Amino acid sequence: MNVWDPEVVLDEAGARALLGEQFPDLALDSVVHLADGFDNTVYVVDDTWAVRFPRREVAVALLHRELPVLERLAGRLPLPVPAPELLGVPGDGFPWPFWGARLLPGAELADAGLPDTARTSLGAQVGAFLAVLHDPAVAAGLGAGLPADPMRRAQPAVRGPMAREALDRLASRGGWEPGSPVDRAVDALLAEGSRLAEPTGVPVLVHGDFHLRHLLVAPDGAASGVIDWGDTCLADPAVDLAMAYGGFSGDARAALLTAYGGVVDEERELRARVLAVGLCAALADYADDVAMPRLLDEARRGIARAVS
């Protein structure tokens, strides 16, 4: 089975049936497919609601993790995050719970077409957002019951080989050039990262999967929201700082790190860069497999940023 294939595919008719049965107050004048990810399919309902339906059983545990965190984060962050309002249960042939929130405006950074040179203000917004999220007081108040880096994303010795495997799969389909300057830089970065032990600092509350698809951008280039919190956990800040290296470069990256204000030492930067390569490699592999050329291009650019 292809790793990207879903266990359940919910079409528009199925989504409409579930919503009509469980939320009779919805008009259901429109139910429009918005996006697919590894874990969820998202429909926009009545131009108002973004409703997320799991695509595989493992996503159900992530749903139960993110909902309480999102409820507690409401109004505490400088960027909008989804506020769960529609809480659905299994029914009408669909085996898992699902949920919806008011639709946040904007496009995924991966799809926004924003040049690197136009990301400086966006970088500053992201840095300020992460500074608040990573405040130890937030972890102390909201982190109860969250796992500690369950995906081991802050450990380059774990994530590096996964990145290499994704790039090798991509190369086997012609989507990546083995031996290119960027490919060699990736190997050098992964080798350097493999020597790091587990992080020993105090963990903070992290988004956990902060990449090019989970930052929303308005038409004017400003940040308009951060979505998909299923991997939120307690971890080293490097887990979220990967965005600084996969999504930004040059002055924009400097603006992000300045606004963040935290000390990003060489070891934390290395952890973040390796994870940025891994996240972008996975996105590129996925995009190539499901024919999303804009995401593929942006993900490959993200790899180049991360090693620059």
pLDDT tens for 102-137 read 999 999 999 999 999 999 999 999 999 999 999 999
In angstroms, the CA 93 to CA 86 distance is 19
Q: How far is CA 304 from CA 184, 195, 297, in A?
A: 11, 22, 11
Mean predicted confidence (pLDDT) in 258-263: 88
Residue 1's pLDDT band (cuts 50, 70, 90):
low
Amino acid at 145: G
Q: Which domains can be identified in the chain, with CATH numbers? A: 12-102 (3.30.200.20), 107-307 (3.90.1200.10)
pTM for this entry = 0.95
pLDDT score at 135: 96
Residue 263's pLDDT band (cuts 50, 70, 90):
confident
Rg of the chain in Å (alpha carbons): 19
Q: Is 46 in contact with 63 (CB distance < 8 Å)? A: no
In angstroms, the CA 289 to CA 23 distance is 35
Q: Helices marked H in the chain — which ranges?
A: 12-22, 58-73, 120-133, 136-142, 156-172, 181-193, 238-246, 250-260, 266-290, 293-307
In angstroms, the CA 304 to CA 288 distance is 17
Residue 305's pLDDT band (cuts 50, 70, 90):
very high
Q: At residue 101, does pLDDT exceed 90? A: yes
Q: At residue 262, does pLDDT exceed 80? A: no
Q: At residue 265, does pLDDT exceed 80? A: yes
pLDDT score at 169: 96
In angstroms, the CA 118 to CA 283 distance is 22
Q: Is 51 in contact with 86 (CB distance < 8 Å)? A: yes
In angstroms, the CA 37 to CA 287 distance is 10
Give the pLDDT confidence of 139-179 residue by residue, as tens digits.
Answer: 998 888 899 999 999 999 999 999 999 999 999 999 999 99
pLDDT score at 2: 73
Q: At residue 196, does pLDDT exceed 90? A: yes
Q: By C-alpha distance, which of 233, 229, 220 is closest to 101?
A: 229
